[in-house]
Amino acid sequence: MYGKSEQRDDYQRVPRPLAAMARDLSDGHHIPPHRHRRAQLIYGTTGAITVVTGHGAWVVPATRGVWVPAGLTHEMSCAGAVAMRTLYVEPQPGLPRDPTVVSVPPLLRELIEEAARLPVEYDPSGRDGKVMDLLLLELTPHPVPALHLPAPADEGLGPLCAAVRRDPGAGWRTEEAAAFAHLSPRTLQRRFPAATGMSLARWVQQARLIHAVTLLARGVPVTSVSAALGYATPSAFTAMFRRALGTSPTRYFTPGR
pTM to 2 decimals?
0.80
- In order of their start, the domains of the chain are 8-138 (2.60.120.10), 152-253 (1.10.10.60)
Listed in order, strand segments (DSSP E) in 7-99 are 18-25, 30-34, 39-44, 48-53, 56-60, 64-68, 74-79, 82-89
Question: Tens-of-pLDDT digits for all 257 residues of the chain?
Answer: 566 889 999 999 999 999 999 999 999 999 999 999 999 999 999 999 999 998 888 888 888 889 999 999 999 999 999 999 999 999 877 778 888 888 888 899 999 999 999 999 999 999 999 999 999 888 876 666 668 889 999 999 999 999 999 999 888 999 999 999 999 999 999 999 999 999 999 999 999 999 999 999 888 999 999 999 988 899 999 998 888 887 888 887 765 54
As a whole number of angstroms, the distance between CA 57 and CA 63 comes to: 17
Q: With beta carbons less than 8 A apart as the criterion, state whether 79 and 218 touch.
A: yes
Asked if 41 and 58 count as a contact pair (C-beta separation under 8 A), the reply is no
The predicted structure's pLDDT at residue 176: 94
Cα–Cα–Cα angle for 132, 138, 140, rounded to 5 degrees? 115
| Paired strand residues for 53 | 56, 74
Q: What's phi and psi for 162, nearest 5 deg? A: -65, -40
Interior angle at CA 248, CA 242 and CA 252, nearest 5: 110
Q: Which helix (H) or strand (E) holds 158?
A: helix 158-166
